[in-house]
Amino acid sequence: MQLLHDVTDNQREAIVHIEGPLLIVAGAGSGKTRVITRRIGYLMSQGVSPYNILAITFTNKAAHEMGERVKQFSTNKGLWVSTFHKMCARILRQNVDRLGYSREFSIYDSADQLSRIKAIMAEFKMDTAQWKPKTIISAISTAKNKLIGPEQFSTTASGYFNEHVAKIYTKYQSILKTDNALDFDDLLIKTIELFQTHADILELYQERFKFILVDEYQDTNYAQYTITRLLANRYRNICVTGDPDQSIYGWRGADIRNIMDFEKDYPDARVVLLEQNYRSTKHILHAASSIIKRNKYRKQKDIWTENVLGEKIRVIACENEYAEADEITKLIRACRNDKDFKYSDIAIFYRTNAQSRVLEKALRNYAIPYTLVGGLAFYQRKEIKDLLSYLRLYVNSNDEVALERVINTPTRGIGDTTVNKLREWAASQGKNLVYAIQHVDLISEIKGKTALAIKRLAELTAHLQTLPNAPVEEILKQAIDKTGYIAFLKVSGEGERETKDRIANVEEMVNAAHEYDMNYSEGTAQGFLEEVALVSDVDEMKDVAEGVTLMTLHTAKGLEFPVVFITGMEERLLPHTESSDSEEKVEEERRLCYVGITRAMKELFITHAKRRTRYGETTFSVPSRFLSEIPKEILETIDKTDRRDCSSSFFAKGDDFGEPVFSLDREQDTFGPTDIKPKTPSASFANGEVVRHPVFGIGRILEVYGSNDKASVKVNFNVGGIKSLLLAYAKLEKV
């Protein structure tokens, strides 16, 4: 049988298992996706209807690829291959009226959520400088993923912060209900609420999904775990795959215990280990294994490969982040020119998004094309959000966040004062902003041109709603035409290039709608919005990028590249400074490092800097403890520090990578600030003076402040930008 052709004994065991719980512990690069898709194909070959199979992945991209692979073996008509959020949205579209919502509900993304939270905080007269809105959103999200609603949160809240969060949480959920909207977390918890309060609906989906497969189970949170358990309770034909060693999303609620305790939840579960790696060289795999075995909380497995030994892992010590970026660009050119790798074969990983700026600059300086994953995504661009808001109003006339966005876009003469009057009147009537613009004639304080502008906006939204079941492309074109949106962009005051880019984005948005209409003969505007709302950074990646790929280590999970660079391998970056107070968090950082290493197929480069600027301060760094956990015999260490002027090397064109001379022995490391004694500045400095720094080169002093050993300067360097430096350490000289 083709399904069982060219598989290992362990892979075969996982594929042919039919009834009862199954745990597949799949090491990195072990062919997990292949096993899952063939298992689905095998189930159907044994008479299981695709209608009775549910497969859950963590990205739309992965879901699409899995669906396409299954087609090789059998028809997938009726098969659900979906993310958790998309599955829940689909269930709620059919049943959310049971919970008092309309089926045309909007899905609020993170930007919409932030807008709502800020508005509530303004109403409560809370200072956003003191109370960070994103921190409050995170607290609410954490509560939701633990299935703690606003009432329970309010009754158990202790402490000043939580008491304020409780007030905001309660108000926020009330507004969502009024707006007929759900946020991402609500998609999960409302599905659970639906299942727990309506036994008939739960039974309906239990009967439908007699066989359930969940990929990346180590990344599930408590809400996702609960949904899975509820659906699987009747037939218990649940198969989960994952790798505890790749559990890296604890910060967003993922609970490694879900996979670690699977055998406790299902004592009769069969466990299959997939330990053979088909992706990486022996050296790369040896490095990864040496690091991850230091973790205590894990399922023991020994990944191995029949692949070649491969190149040693190159570890490069650089003077600063600019020198680091410079070395990486030169190595990339060498990979392309000397080893015939394509730019698309190469990826650069970093721990924090802030690290990408210097890397991008270096790539641009060397004319190396690149793709930044996790930058401002297409559907988050201003003009795209504007058009999506019109589309959202077409679907859900109660979507107040969408209305707020377009109420004066394009400019209609409806300013903040008028909007506040509309709000006040709406509140006095117990209604929302949407109701107010529809009844502006009843508001005596709003007259003349302003009232006329509001009427025209109400007429526009009403007109759009007269296009039932129209193609999404047509609705968008109508919105663009009736609002004069292109003309608005042309006179909006942006530069010529930016204006052209924004118009091009609008055109691409129409193309996306056209593509959706072509691919989904029964598609709707609601369906299109759902696709857009649930898209991720990885989903937006092109299958074959034209250039080098830049992304965070977290985003890199599930991907692979022939050549990988892991940058900033330093204490306080990897492991991150926020993990230092917890061994549990350090273990997650180690898993993150493991994930990064195991993305590499043929060559792996690791870089770290002697100095790095963070939060405007340049500090000394020490190599990450994870480097010392890799056997030295598989490393080629290269020291590029102690240059005469490393800032000038940022633009250098040479390809000399130096000789391996530095030690990774942390006990012998001399990079730390404790090893440097402060010196009294030898000369005074004044604002406006031109100075030279041994690392950053030439710059001009913007500000002198502090005294004695705290004496500091803020300098705008030609290469490094604005830096704040302690004079005791800076080694500045006047030019």
Catalytic residues: 32-33, 215-216, 246, 599
Residue 358 CA neighbour count, 13 Å, CB half: 26
Q: What angle do CA 483, 487, 493 make, to 5 degrees?
A: 120
- Coil, strand or helix at 674: helix
How many CB atoms within 10 Å of residue 163? 11
Element (H, E) at 547: none
- Residue 573: strand pairing partners: 576
Check whether the bond before 410 is cis (ω within 30° of 0).
yes
Question: How does DSSP assign 215-238, residue by residue?
Answer: SSGGG--HHHHHHHHHHHTTT--E
In degrees to the nearest 10, what's the CA dihedral of 543, 548, 551, 557? 50
Round to whole Å and give the CA distance between 535 and 433. 29
Check whether the bond before 575 is cis (ω within 30° of 0).
yes
> CB under 8 Å, gap of 24 or more: what pairs does 483-486 form?
483/390, 483/406, 483/410, 484/410, 485/383, 485/386, 485/387, 485/410
Round to whole Å and give the CA distance between 573 and 586. 11
Round to whole Å and give the CA distance between 724 and 316. 26
- Residue 246: strand pairing partners: none
CB 237 within 8 A of CB 212: yes
Round to whole Å and give the CA distance between 627 and 623. 7
Element (H, E) at 711: none
Element (H, E) at 277: none
- Residue 346: strand pairing partners: 563
- Coil, strand or helix at 559: coil
CB 639 within 8 A of CB 659: yes
Round to whole Å and give the CA distance between 480 and 464. 11
- Residue 619: strand pairing partners: 612
CB 284 within 8 A of CB 310: yes
Closest CA to 557 of 603, 608, 607, 593: 593
